[in-house]
A and B are shown apart, each in its own frame.
Chain A
Amino acid sequence: MSLLELDGVDKSYGDEAVLHDVGFAMDRGDVEVIVGPSGSGKSTLLRCVNRLTEIDDGAIYLDGEEVHSLDENALRRRVGMVFQSFNLFAHRTARGNITLGLTEVLDLSRAEARSRADDYLARVGLAEQADSYPAELSGGQQQRVGIARALAMDPELLLFDEPTSALDPELIGDVLAVMRDLADEGMTMLCVTHEMGFARSAASTLTFLDGGQVVERGPPEQLFEKPSHDRTRSFLGELTDLNR
C-alpha cells in the first residue's frame, strides 16, 4: 500500500484554482521532488497533505487512511514539515525548538526530550549550537535545526517546502547534505525544491507541476533527458542552467 496517495485533489482560493485534479502516490522510502514555476501550487499541495490548508475536493490517504478522518494534530505528528523561512521558535534555543514538540505533543519527560533533541542536533551537525538562539545561527544552521525539529517527532513522512530558497548560496550545501543523508537512510520525503542537483541525484520520482496540474511525472533521468512535454523541457532546462 502506498504511504501517501493523492486522488483528484482540487483546491481554489476564491475564483482562482490553485490545484486541479492532482493525483499521485508514493511508497515508503520514496523521495518525491516536485518542481514547477512559482504560483503552480507546489506549496499549497504540501500544506494540503498535513492539512494546514483544507482541500476542496478529492482525497488524500496516509497509509490507507483518509487524512480528514484523522485528528489534525494526530496527523501532523506523523507528517513533519520543514519551512522555507525556517519558522524556528524565536524565543527558544536550538535544543528548545526540538524539545517543545517532544514534551507537549509526544509527552516525553524533560530529560528524555533533552537527550533526544541532542541526538538529532548531533545528527544534523549542530551539537555545539544546542544552546544558541535562532538569531545567533546562520540560515543554514537554522534550517538544519528545522529539519531536526521535524525529524525528532519520528514522522512517517517529511514535507520540505523550498527548504533552501531563503538561503545564501554558500549555505545551501549543508542543508542538502542533511537531506541526502535522510534520503539514503530511507526517510520518505516529499520535497518542493528548485535544487536540480538534489532532484537528479536523490529523487526517486520527479513531478512537474504547472498551473495546479501534474504535467509530467517519472524518474528524474526520464524528465531531464527525454521529457514528453515541451513545457517540462523548457522549465527544467532553464532551472538547470540557473543552477550552474
Chain B
Amino acid sequence: MSGTDATEVVETRGSAVGDLPGRRRAVVLAVGAVFWTWLLARWAYHNTVVDRVATALGAPNLIRSERGVRQQEPWIPAEPFAQAADAVGSVAATLGPAGVLLDWLRWLLDLIAFGTTTAPGLAAGAYITVYLTVLSMLFGLVIAVPLSVARVYGGRVLRGLSLAYTELVRGTPLLAQLFFLYYGLPLAQLMEGVGFTGEPPIPRSAAAVAVVGFTINSSAYQAEYIRSALESVDPGQLTAARAVGMSKLQGIRHVVLPQGLRFAIPGWTNEFVYLVKYSSLAAFITVPELFRRARNVGSDTFQFTDIYVVVAAFYLALVLTTTIAMGRLEDAVAVPGLGTDARED
C-alpha cells in the first residue's frame, strides 16, 4: 500500500466526532470542556473530599451545608430564565396563532430554568453512572481476556466452559441478572462492608452489587469482541512466536494479544457506549445513579418529559465523551500497518 493510501485510511478511522473538520470540532470540544469542568467541580463540591480538606485546614466552618443539601444546590440561578420565559410567553400570547415559534422559545427557556435546578442532583447521579461503567468495563476486561483466549486457544473443556459462560450471560436479560444478584442472592448483605453509596434504608452495597452484575454481563460481551479480534490475527504470528521457542502462552501474551486487543478497540468502544446506558438498569436495584435521580425528580415535579430531556443530554454527553476518548486511545496505540491495512501483501 502506498503512503497516500495509508493516510487516507488513518483519516477515516476513529470516532465520528473526532473526524469533524476544524471549526465544528472545536465547538464540540469546547462544549465538552465546559460540561466536564462543571461536572468535575460539582463532584468535588458534592464529595466528602471538600469536607476533609476544610477540616484538615482547620476551617470546618467553611462547610456551609450537609452533603445531601449541597448535591441539590444550584450554581446558576433559575429566575432569569424563568422571567425570560414569562416575558416571551406574554409576547407570544399577544401574537395569537403566529406566536408558535415564540412558544417554542418559551418552552426552551423554561427547560433551562428547570435544568439549572435539577442538574446538580443529576450530576451526583452521573458520578455513580460513571464509576459503575468504568469499573465494570475494566473488571469485565480482566475476565474477558482469559475467556476469549480459552475460547480460541483452549482445549475442549476450556472452550466449552467459556462458551457456556458467554452464552448463559448473553442469553439472559441483564435486568434479570441484576435482580437475581440483588434480590435472589444475599449478595447485598454479604457486601455490606464494601458499599460506596446509598443511605439507609437503601443498602449501601447496591452499587457494589451493580458493579458485580455489570462486570459479569460486560465480560461476556467483551469476550465475544475480543474473540473475533483474536481470530483475525494472522495465525503465522503465533507460529513465528513458537518457532523462536516461546510457549503457546508466551506467544499469546506477547504476540497475539497485543495485536488482537488493538483490533478489539472499536468493538470495545461499542460495549462501553452500551454500558453507559445499560447502567441505568441499576436504578431498579435502588442505586441512585443518573436515571434513578431523574425518575425521582419526575415523581416529585411531574415534569417527566422535561427531566428526561435533561437526563438525555447527560447521557449524550457521557457517550460522546466515551467515543472521543476511545478514538484517542485507538490513535495512541496505533501501529503502522496493523489493523486497517494489515491484510495487504
| Chain A partners chain B | yes
Q: Give A residues with C-beta under 8 Å from B.
A: 50, 52, 73-77, 80-81, 83, 85, 87-91, 100-101, 104-105, 133-136, 149-150, 153, 166
Q: Which of B236, B259, B262 lies at the interface centre, i.e. has the most chain A CB atoms within 10 A of its CB?
A: B236
Known A-B contacts A133-B336, A135-B338; the reply to A105 vs B240 at CB < 8 A is no
Q: Which residues of A contact B243 (CB under 8 A)?
A: 50, 52, 76, 80-81, 83, 150
Tell me if A52 and B337 are in contact (CB < 8 A). no
Option from B241, B245, B336, B344 in Cβ contact (under 8 Å) with A89: B241
Q: How far is the CA of A150 from the CA of B241 in the complex (A)?
A: 11
Q: Which residues of B contact A76 (CB under 8 A)?
A: 242-245
Q: How far is the CA of A85 from the CA of B234 in the complex (A)?
A: 11
Q: Which residues of A contact B255 (CB under 8 A)?
A: 89, 91, 100
Kindly list the 5 A-B residue pairs having the minimum CB-CB distance in the complex, ordered from nearest: A135-B337, A87-B240, A101-B244, A77-B245, A87-B236
Tell me if B236 and A104 are in contact (CB < 8 A). no
Q: Which residues of A contact B237 (CB under 8 A)?
A: 87, 89-90
Stretch at the interface among B62-70, B165-173, B246-254, B266-274: B246-254
Interface residues in B41-85 (C-beta closer than 8 Å to A):
none
Option from B239, B245, B262, B336 in Cβ contact (under 8 Å) with A101: B245
Tell me if B245 and A153 are in contact (CB < 8 A). yes
Q: Which residues of B contact A88 (CB under 8 A)?
A: 240
Tell me if B335 and A74 are in contact (CB < 8 A). no
Closest to B251 in A: A104
Q: How far is the CA of A52 from the CA of B234 in the complex (A)?
A: 16
Q: Which residues of A contact B345 (CB under 8 A)?
A: 166
Known A-B contacts A90-B259, A90-B342, A104-B254; the reply to A136 vs B242 at CB < 8 A is no
Q: How far is the CA of A90 from the CA of B334 in the complex (A)?
A: 11
B258 close to chain A: CB less than 8 A: yes
Known A-B contacts A52-B239, A85-B236, A100-B254; the reply to A90 vs B337 at CB < 8 A is yes
Option from B236, B246, B250, B336 in Cβ contact (under 8 Å) with A83: B236
Q: Which residues of A contact B258 (CB under 8 A)?
A: 91
Tell me if A101 and B246 are in contact (CB < 8 A). yes
Closest to B341 in A: A135
Tell me if A80 and B244 are in contact (CB < 8 A). yes
Q: Give B residues with C-beta under 8 Å from A.
A: 234, 236-237, 239-247, 250, 254-255, 258-259, 262, 335-338, 341-342, 344-345
Known: A73-B246, A101-B246, A136-B336; 11 extra A-B contacts, CB below 8 A, are: A75-B245, A85-B236, A89-B241, A89-B255, A90-B342, A91-B335, A105-B244, A134-B337, A149-B244, A153-B245, A166-B345
Known A-B contacts A133-B336, A135-B336; the reply to A150 vs B244 at CB < 8 A is yes
A-B residue pairs in contact (CB < 8 Å), sample of 19: A76-B243, A76-B245, A80-B244, A85-B236, A87-B236, A87-B239, A87-B240, A89-B255, A90-B259, A91-B255, A91-B338, A100-B244, A101-B246, A105-B244, A105-B250, A133-B338, A135-B338, A135-B344, A149-B244
Q: How far is the CA of A149 from the CA of B243 in the complex (A)?
A: 11
Q: With both chains docked as a complex, state the minimum distance between the C-beta of B309 and any C-beta of chain A, in angstroms.
A: 45
Known A-B contacts A91-B259, A133-B336, A150-B244; the reply to A104 vs B239 at CB < 8 A is no
Tell me if A105 and B246 are in contact (CB < 8 A). yes
Q: With both chains docked as a complex, state the minimum distance between the C-beta of A120 and any C-beta of chain B, in angstroms.
A: 13
Q: How far is the CA of A227 from the CA of B344 in the complex (A)?
A: 41
Q: How far is the CA of A80 from the CA of B244 in the complex (A)?
A: 6
Known A-B contacts A90-B342, A136-B337; the reply to A52 vs B246 at CB < 8 A is no
Q: With both chains docked as a complex, state the minimum distance between the C-beta of A68 and any C-beta of chain B, in angstroms.
A: 16
Closest to B6 in A: A135
Q: Which residues of B contact A85 (CB under 8 A)?
A: 236
Closest to B259 in A: A91
Q: Which of A50, A76, A87 lies at the interface centre, i.e. has the most chain B CB atoms within 10 A of its CB?
A: A87
Q: Which residues of A contact B236 (CB under 8 A)?
A: 83, 85, 87
Tell me if B337 and A74 are in contact (CB < 8 A). no
Q: Which residues of B contact A100 (CB under 8 A)?
A: 241, 244, 246, 254-255
Closest to B235 in A: A87
Q: With both chains docked as a complex, state the minimum distance between the C-beta of A71 and any C-beta of chain B, in angstroms.
A: 9
Tell me if A91 and B262 are in contact (CB < 8 A). yes
Q: Which of B240, B337, B341, B342 lies at the interface centre, i.e. has the most chain A CB atoms within 10 A of its CB?
A: B240
Closest to A102 in B: B244
Q: With both chains docked as a complex, state the minimum distance between the C-beta of B71 and any C-beta of chain A, in angstroms.
A: 46
Q: Which residues of A contact B247 (CB under 8 A)?
A: 73
Closest to B342 in A: A90
Q: How far is the CA of A74 from the CA of B338 in the complex (A)?
A: 30
